[in-house]
Amino acid sequence: MKAKIAVIAGDGIGPEIVAQAVEVLKKVAAEFGHGFTFDERPVGGAAYDATGDCLPAETLDACRRADAVLLGAVGGPKWDSLPAAQRPERRALLTLRRELGLFANLRPARTWPTLRGSSPLKDEIVAEGVDLLVVRELTGGLYFGEHVRAADGQSALDTMPYSVAEIERIARVAFAAARKRRGRVTCVDKANVLETSRLWRETVQRLQGTEASDIALDFMYVDNAAMQLVRSPSHFDVLLAENMFGDILSDEASQITGSIGMLPSASLREDGFGLYEPIHGSAPDIAGRGVANPLATILSAALLLRHSLGLEAESAAIERATGEVLASGELTPDLGGSATTSQVGAAVAKKVYGG
């Protein structure tokens, strides 16, 4: 297979971790006989410094022309003083999601056997193993609603719009994911308070009855879901949530697994095109020191192969290699090791093999 991958490394540790994921993808291409080309473009604060825009038109065009996009991280204190509409997180990330039609965010969270001791939860809670998937709606809700500050500066308003069509679209993604897992979806909402949540609950329940009767469905208020994630995380299979709730719960889930540096994500549209990134931030405090954990980005590359390119065996090869590196103990300091970013990336690439 030939594929073009847009590479937008971004800020902070982004260039360091993305470089390792690219090397792993090159090893996959060599082992399995594919031809991957990488189109590197600036994004985020680095792009602002170079061009005056966190998302240059050339970068957006390159993403549109690609088969998939690999992203590192954007933002940092250096650009916090920019007007809200120009800050990297809003101008780059939210615009990319909107312009590329990326409405479905998949955030898998699992406990790797060798990292179970790194979880902040008691061993008896995670002993059964945690393997859940947060399916987050990505282009609606509070983040894309109206944002208003009163003229006197004494009040503000953010709106949380959702349509039935938006809810149906993301619910179908959750039901489809559950069919490949353990067949259970938990829809997270706040239907006792929010009208949008009541619309979510009504829509998801109706859709399950007409299109997904094979999937077990339950509902949970977001505050209870946050509590149950730390009380009994193995209870969950697929969590379906609107934008803000999904953002918060997926970060909580990352800590249950032992390190936010281990969680990948995929942001998809209907045709399988996607943007892939680790869920952690740009970590400017450790940028350039060679100690950043690249595994979440490498696992994001595995998701890229699976969801956008349809290369299941190749994706599994990366995940297998990652597990073997974790078991070997060649890890970055956040996981208790002393290896560098590049050493960990090279170790994963070395263990990727075809056939």
CB 229 within 8 A of CB 256: yes
CB 294 within 8 A of CB 341: yes
271 is catalytic: no
Residue 280 to residue 246: CA distance in whole angstroms:
15
Is 247 among the residues known to form the active site?
yes
Choosing from 67, 237, 247, 334, the catalytic residue is: 247
Q: Which residues contact 52 (CB under 8 A, 6 or more apart)?
A: none
Among residues 251, 256, 259, 255, which one has the least CA distance to residue 232? Answer: 256
The torsion region of residue 33 among left (phi > 0), alpha (psi -120 to 50) and beta comes to: left
Known active-site residue 190: yes
Which one is catalytic: 4, 26, 190, 221? Answer: 190
> What is the DSSP code string of 240-275?
EE-HHHHHHHHHHHHHHTT-GGG-EEEEE-TTS-EE
Question: Distance between CA 126 and CA 166 in Å, rounded?
Answer: 34
Closest Cα partner for 53 from 90, 22, 105, 15?
90
Per the DSSP assignment, residues forming a β-bridge with 136 are 105, 241
Q: Which of 39, 53, 131, 251 is catalytic?
A: 251
**Catalytic residue from among 48, 143, 162, 276:** 143
State the helix-helix crossing angle for 341-351 and 295-307, rounded to 10 degrees: 40
- From 223, 285, 350, 353, the catalytic residue: 223
Cβ(294)–Cβ(325) under 8 Å?
no
- In terms of Cα–Cα distance, which of 320, 265, 263, 249 is closest to 293? 263
- Supply the residues annotated as catalytic: 143, 190, 223, 247, 251
